[in-house]
Structure 1
Amino acid sequence: MEIIKIGMADLGVAKPPSRLRTTGLGSCVGVVLYDHIHKVAGMAHVMLPESSLAKGGELSVGKYADTAIPHLIQQMQKEGAASRNMIAKLAGGAQMFAFLGGNDMMRIGPRNVEACKTALQAAQIKIIAEDTGGNCGRTIEFDSSTGVLQIRTVNQGVKEV
């Protein structure tokens, strides 16, 4: 069994018996897509809500919810997945720092979650499990054989969805 590590602003695809893992999900969101019929899994480590926030130069498609999710769907389709069979699981999107005042720009975690949900809705992919918000970091690992997402939350243990 191979564990495919997904870095920040990165994405990847796996088939059984491989697993996908990403660490350091604070305000970032781990988006897992899975076609249970064809056993194709994908994971993106989304850092920011929208690509309009990009500062010049090259665009990193895995960094933004509005580019990572469509790109991940395409990569999974190249491996035999069908978008009509895909489901989604989300983890992360924590509010890692307490800020005084209501500055929306500082709500990166909640904005990331909202943007991921918007992109998934646009692609007509149903979210069947979610562990988002709070103020603790997470590590997630997805088993492409079983469709189980393991979520390790700092100071809160492990759960499976």
Structure 2
Amino acid sequence: MNVIRVGMADVGTASSPDSLRTTGLGSCVGIALYDPYAKVAGLAHIMLPTATSAEEKNRAKYANTAVPMLIQMMEQIGANKRRIVAKLAGGAQMFTFAGQSDLMRIGPRNVEAVKQALSAFTIRITAEDTGGNCGRTIELSGVDGSLLIRTAKQGVTTI
């Protein structure tokens, strides 16, 4: 079994028995996709809600461009988008400032954008661990689609 690292503003795929891991999810969101029949996993570590330009070079950085890219990558190794389910983690509000504008709510805005992007593909979210004010490290199993979440404040959980 290999653990494939997915960096910030990055996407990756794996087949059973391999898994995918990303670290440093603060306001970023980890999008964990899984096809339980093909046992194909996909993970995106998005930083921002939407790409502002069609010329954006790193599509993995944004929710609205990372989701379709990840689905396509999963299909190339045997997944079927009709069977894919999702789990989400991250989207924390890491810092709070008095008089904070909506633009500074990056974590919650990221979560909303991910949900919209998944909805466009009719991908069901089966579990999520989002919000709060702590960072997360996640690992998605290619065997069963379980998502292990580690936080400094809350320990380890699996969804």
Normalised by the size of structure 2, how large is the TM-score?
A: 0.97
The residue that corresponds to 1:88 in the other structure is 86
- For residue 102 of structure 1, report the CA deviation from its aligned partner: 3.9
The residue that corresponds to 2:118 in the other structure is 120
1:63-82, Cα deviation, whole Å (9 max, x unpaired): 00000000000000001100
- Pair 1:7 & 2:4 matched: no
Match for 1:16: what amino acid? S
Between 1:151-160 and 1:21-30, the stretch displaced more is 151-160
- For residue 146 of structure 1, report the CA deviation from its aligned partner: 1.8
Match for 2:63: what amino acid? A
Normalised by the size of structure 1, how large is the TM-score?
A: 0.96
Other structure's SS at 2:149 match: strand
The residue that corresponds to 1:39 in the other structure is 39
**Structure 1 vs Structure 2 CA RMSD:** 1.2
- For residue 32 of structure 1, report the CA deviation from its aligned partner: 0.4
- Quick one: percent identity of the two aligned structures? 60
Relative distance call for 1:37 and 1:57 in structure 2 (3 A) is closer
Relative distance call for 1:108 and 1:126 in structure 2 (3 A) is same
1:4-153 paired onto structure 2 within 5 Å? 4-52=4-52, 58-153=56-151
